[in-house]
Structure 1
Amino acid sequence: MSEDLTGRLAVTLDLVDVTDKAGLMDRVASALALPDWFGRNWDALVDSLSDHTVWPERAVEQGLLIVVRDWRPFAEQNPQEWGTAQDVFAEAVDRTPALAVVLALGGSS
């Protein structure tokens, strides 16, 4: 985690080698250190992204920026799931002005 130019706490969500929804949910849970009770479904994801009580402590005060990297292979292999993931990210951002989600272009290297 680091701080972005807007002062938000930046968290990288790296999707390298993620091939399915379960892998995506596991990676999000790990990147954001979500609680064990996180349900690993789309509704639980939008709720968690919108809920300051499960955010990293500094993010509650500063805001949260999630940078999604290496998403293109997942998107190409799972276009329907990727579409849903984008909808979930958009809904969470709409609910929570302190949250921003960006898709990084290029790879992780």
Structure 2
Amino acid sequence: MSAVDLRMLLADARHSGVYFVDARDTEAMAQAAGGLGYAVLRIDLAGCADKAALLRRFAAAGGFPDWFGHNWDALADALADLSWKPAAGYLLLVEHAGDWRAAHGEDFDTLLEILGEAAARWAEADTAFWALLPLPAELLSALEG
């Protein structure tokens, strides 16, 4: 996909959501989102031990305010607000999620649900909100199969 096509895709808030993507496309997506004036939040889950660590990483990447309560409800509230990080749209890159998914399946499902709800709320406001989970090509192929 060309850079222009990628920007057109990311600019369309109606298609916002949570997607597994090829890890090789991560930088192109981040650059395209940056070119659109989006806030690009990179949440690296490499070595992430548990839910508490995951929430800390989201808080750090998003510059969450002091009121962030480090629980699922607080994450949902923070992602639905983002008033401290005004932008034309939002791109979350949840990197190295494969191992965390394998080790914390139920929590991973909860995270996907929260991200999906946030994307739907932002889309209703006509603001793009993309939560992308880059995976190695072979793992991505296994999910599609």
Hey, what's the Cα distance between the residues in 2 that align with 1:92 and 1:82? 15
TM-score, normalised to structure 1, is: 0.84
- Greater relative contact order structure (CA < 8 Å, 6+ sep): 2
Q: Is the 8 A contact 1:66 1:102 kept in 2?
A: yes
- Give CA-to-partner distance per residue, 1:35-85, whole Å, 9 cap, x none: 12201111111110010313x2xxx23211001100111110110000000
Hey, what's the Cα distance between the residues in 2 that align with 1:10 and 1:87? 20
Find 2:93's aligned residue among 67, 70, 75. Answer: 67
CA shift, 1:5, in A, is: 1.5
Unaligned runs of 5+ in 2: 1-29, 137-145
Q: Could you say which residue in structure 1 is the equivalent of 2:49?
A: 19
CA shift, 1:105, in A, is: 1.4
Q: Of Structure 1 and Structure 2, which has the larger fraction of its residues in helix? A: 2
Q: Is the 8 A contact 1:13 1:66 kept in 2?
A: yes
Q: Is the 8 A contact 1:4 1:65 kept in 2?
A: no
Find 1:84's aligned residue among 97, 100, 110. Answer: 110
**Identical pairs, percent:** 31
C-alpha RMSD of the superposition: 1.7
Q: Which amino acid aligns with 1:78?
A: H
Q: Is the 8 A contact 2:39 2:87 kept in 1?
A: no
TM-score, normalised to structure 2, is: 0.65
Find 1:50's aligned residue among 65, 80, 87. Answer: 80
- Which 4+ stretches in 1 moved above 4 angstroms? none
State how many pairs are aligned.
101
Q: Is the 8 A contact 2:94 2:133 kept in 1?
A: yes
Unaligned runs of 5+ in 1: none
